[in-house]
Structures are given as C-alpha cells and as structure tokens.
Amino acid sequence: MASALGLLFISCITLSVVYGNSQIDDVKKYPDPSPQTRGSPWPAPKQMTISETQLTVDQATFKFEFSETEVCSILEEAFVRYFKIIFGSYSTSLKFSSWKTLRSNIGSRSRYSGTVSALQVVSPCIDNIYPSLTSDESYTLEISEKGVATLKASEVWGALRGLETFSQLIYQDGLGTFVLNATSIEDAPRFQHRGLLLDTSRHFLSLDVLKENLDVMSQNKLNVFHWHIVDDQAFPYESSTFPDMSMKGAYNAFTHVYTQENVKEIIEYARLRGIRVIPEFDSPGHTMSWGKAIANLLTKCYSGGKPSGDVGPVNPAFNTTYTFLQNFFQEISTVFPDHYVHLGGDEVSFDCWKSNPDITAFMENMGYGKDYAKLEEYYMEKLLNIVSGLKKAYIIWQEVIDNGAKVAADTVIEVWKGGYQKEMSKVTALGYKTILSSPWYVNYISYGSDWMNYYSAEPLDFNGTKAQKDLVMGGEACIWGEFVDGTNLLSRLWPRASAVAERLWSPASFNDTKLATPRIDEHRCRLVRRGYPAEPLNGPSFCGHEYVYHQ
C-alpha cells in the first residue's frame, strides 16, 4: 500500500514535468498521497472549526501586523522566527522552484478563494517579563473566508501559542503553494505545567542542543524546561559562590560547564518562547559530584568500624551542611528567575547513613531511634525552610512524601514511580499539588509505536474528589541522560514527547490513538521540514520534505 502510494507520488511529479505547459487547472490531478493530515495543529486546540474554504499565503507579501506602535522583543523576535518557520528555506529549494514554474503554467491558484496577506496580532507586549505558573496562554485565532486573519490574546504568552498554531495551519498543496483553510479557534491549555526534563549530568548537552530543544518544545506548546542540571556523575553548573564545584565536579571544567553567561542565555532563549526554566539541584542523594569540592558535605561510609573510603548522601548531622546550603541556594535563587526550584529528594539510600557513627549519635540525640526516614525528613525540612526563606517555592520527588516526611503545604510533589494512580490519590489526599511524570519516561525506548502509551496515560485517572484533581498542575516528559547526548537527544525525544504535549494541552477527549496517528505523523513531518531530526513513529511512511542534514 505504502509503496504503491509512493509510486503514484513519483509518477505524478514526472507527469507534471512532462505536461507542465498544458492547460491543466485541476490540482487534484496532482494529489499529495501522504497518509498524514494537512494543516492540523498539534497539540489540538480546545475548540476549532475548519471550513472547506482554502486561502493562499504568499511569501513575497505576507506580513505580521501588530496592534500597538511599539512591539516588545518577545513578539518582535517571534514574528521573524515564524516567518522563517512558515516559509522555510525548503520553499526555494530546487524542487519547489520547478513547482513554482509549474504553478504559474497551470494556474493552480484559481481554485483558492483568496489570499491571507497579513496576520493582525492584538496582544499586550511588555519587555522584561517572565512566564510563570499563572501565565495566561489562551488565545483566539480567526481566519475568515475573506482572508482576514486575527490573533487575539490577553497576555503575550497566548500570542506566542497562537502564532505557533497559525504556522501549523499553513501547509503546501501538491504544487507547493502555501495554503490554509478558513478557521476559527478558541484555545487554552488544560494544564498549566507542561514540562520536559533534560539531564545534563550523565551526558553534557551543548547550548546549541539545549536551544534547539527549546525551539521544538515551543512548537509543541510545552512551557517548562525542568533542567536536571547536576547529579552524581557531573556538576556542570559553574557557581559564582563555589566555583570549585564545577572545577572539580564537571567532566571538564572548561568545556563541559554552563557559565553564568550560558545560563542567562538559556533562560532568555526560553523566555522569548514562553518557557520557564526550573533548575533541579537534587539532594541529599545524587550528590557525589558536589562532594568533590565541598569538604564534609557528604557522609563518610563506615565498614568494620572504620571509614571505608566511600561517601554517601549529604550528611544531615553537621551544621556546616546547612550553612553551605544557605549560601548555595542564595545564589540559585537569584540566578534563576522562576518562582520554583526543584529540590530532588529521590532515591536516598540509608545504608551509608546507618554505618556512620556521627549520624548514629545524632539520631540518638534527636530521639529518632532507627527511623532513618526521620533523618531524611529533618534534612528536607531544613532545606525547604532555607529555600522558602529565599522567597522561592519548590518541587520535590515523591519519595520525600512516601517516607512519611511532612513538608510545607505549598510543596509540589512530582510523581515518577510506577503505580502512579495510587500515588496521585495519596499525595492529593494529603493536600499537596502534584505533577506527573511516571508514564512519560521517554528514555525507556522500545520497538514499535510506543508514543501511544504516552498518549493514553491520563493524569486525572485516579480515585479522588474534584478538589484532589484540581491539585494536579500538569506533568513532564523526562529523558534521562545515561544513554543520551547531543547526537540522539532530539530524535529520541521528538515526536514522542509530542504525545505528552497533546495530553497536557488538549481536552481529555483527545484520547483516540487512531485519530491521532495521521495528525502526529503530520506533526513529525512538520518538525522534519523545519529541520529537526524527529523520528518516524508509525512504521513505513514518508514526508513531503525529508530530513536534510544541517550544521
């Protein structure tokens, strides 16, 4: 079937070259036989009415028009970006210039009702603002049958989302003309927190790769970059207060670090795309790389009554630990503008703590008996107090709660383990806000169309009251870095994370993988056409514009 369609495609092009000068005015003789939808936005808008009226968009005359006399950098840069995204370099490629000649010869425009010559954008636009959990990303987009196109938003973030949708409505017909259908859209996200976790500790990711990924995130309407920036293996964050941490803890202190300038650059790049940057400094576990520079921060493990030479999690028994944390997070709270910091708290092994005599003495002093979860709670509480003292809110992994710790009421719990329905019930019954990532560990790859599993996971599918469900802020796709670096990040992630993006943006009723298949296929081809190495998801297929390797 697929190869038969492929043949048809090729023979049509041949035909049109041979008969290009004849008076053929029916473009239907040159169908694009691809199995994908055409001009269907991903993620799907909340409400959309598409008419059968088709309009053209002309690269030579089209422009974005802004309602105010002064435009802020967010929209100014977005207009330049979206012009390129819509018309891309492929429009002038050899293939398309020959199609252009064909078009003028056969007068393909006759079937279209008119031309969209501008998109009027009506939105506030202020510089120096950052997106936040409460950003309003809603917008309306109208393309009338007469070709008048208007995008309206009450915050600039909504305008950004609407520009993305507008760019996705436009497609090329079988002869390369840019076309869109008259459409009416009212859109707003279902969840406010739609994140993606990248791990820059197990493998370093260059600024270019991080930026490219931020571009694709915005093209999927994801709005939180959860930056798992350091871990056991490496500490690439170049701290201004503790420069030794990356000096001693990074894979390479000069080439494998994020300087203060780099971090600023990423935050700004993300801001211009309506994306929040939430850094994660995970402790008390996952901190081997921290200990290389900070003396006595990590617990010395004992064996047979003597230090074994190994170290374990951060040592909660020493006061110096909290002095360090105060100074370190003081810096973090000023470097990262978002209101939230992720403080980790996952996978703390108690074995080393159990072996250490200072900790045993501390446990006795505190009356904790043998309950090491109490010790973890003590540590987390002190850490959370330090960070809330710095006027930040925090996200932590679910173990902190699973171990019975009581944390401040405004703590956000990220659920990542299997059996998430039970955990979501439990966490929300305790009154905590939560984000879900368990079903969306996209680093676990498998053969076949695994995106369907991501797509089918429903964050509100747990037993709980309406008040409990209201505590679900959203979710995150996670791609951990053990087997991922700049060579395969984008292709492994996209468009698999797009499945998560639609789950978190679109109404819950978009849950049919059969209906989603031709749409996500179009979206993948759209990403490929835009220059990203997004993988095929659904077996044999082809894109109108195949991937062109670029540097």
184 binds ligand NAG, rule: CB under 6 A? no
Say whether residue 241 binds ligand NAG (CB under 6 A): no
Q: How many of the other CB atoms lie within 10 Å of CB of 431? A: 11
Nearest to 441 by CA among 408, 477, 466: 477
Stretch that binds ligand NAG, among 348-356, 396-404, 461-469, 528-536 (CB under 6 A): 461-469
Cα–Cα distance for residue pair 344/341, rounded to 1 Å: 9
68, 347, 364, 482: which one is catalytic?
Answer: 347
Min dist CB 311 to ligand NAG, Å, is 20
Distance CA 148, CA 74 (A): 24
Q: For the chain, percent helix, then strand, then coil, each to nearest 5?
A: 40, 20, 40
Contact between residue 379 and residue 386 where contact means Cβ atoms under 8 Å apart: no
The footprint of ligand NAG on this chain (CB under 6 A) covers a number of residues equal to 15
Instruction: Give the residue with the Cβ less far from ligand NAG, 450 or 485.
Output: 450
Taking CB under 6 A as the binding criterion, the range among 81-89, 99-107, 373-381, 455-463 that sits at the site for ligand NAG is 455-463
Within 31-50, which residues bind ligand NAG (CB under 6 A)? Answer: 39-40, 50
Closer CB to ligand NAG, residue 204 or residue 329? 329
Q: Does 509 bind ligand NAG (CB under 6 A)?
A: yes
Cis peptide before 45 (omega within 30 of 0): no
Query: Coil, helix or strand for 479?
Result: strand
CA dihedral sign of residues 154, 156, 157, 161 = positive
Cβ-based nearer residue to ligand NAG, 181 or 355? 181
* Residue spans of alpha helices (H) in 405-512: 420-429, 451-456, 466-469, 489-493, 496-505
Dihedral Cα 89, 92, 95, 99, nearest 10 deg:
130
**Is residue 144 within the footprint of ligand NAG (CB under 6 A)?**
no
Task: Tell whether residue 181 is a contact of ligand NAG (CB under 6 A).
Answer: yes
User: Which one of 224-232, 406-414, 439-447, 503-511 is the stretch in contact with ligand NAG (CB under 6 A)?
Assistant: 503-511
CB of 523 to ligand NAG, least distance (A): 14
**7 interacts with ligand NAG by CB under 6 A:** no
Q: Does 206 engage in binding with ligand NAG (CB under 6 A)?
A: no
Q: Give me the long-range contacts of 250-255 (CB less than 8 A, separation at least 24).
A: 250/289, 251/204
Task: Let me know if 238 is a catalytic residue.
Answer: no
Are 62 and 143 a contacting pair, CB within 8 Å?
no
Looking at this protein, which amino acid is placed at residue 492? R
Decide if residue 89 touches ligand NAG (CB under 6 A).
no
| By CB under 6 A, residue 54 contacts ligand NAG | yes
Chain position whose Cβ is nearest to ligand NAG: 52
CB of 281 to ligand NAG, least distance (A): 23
32 or 331: CB nearest ligand NAG: 32
Calculate the alpha carbon distances from 202 to 17, 245, 250, 381, 483 in Å: 52, 16, 10, 28, 8
Residue 511 binds ligand NAG, judged by CB under 6 A: yes
Point out which residues bind ligand NAG (CB under 6 A).
Answer: 39-40, 50, 52, 54, 181, 319, 421, 458, 461-463, 508-509, 511
Residues annotated as catalytic are 347
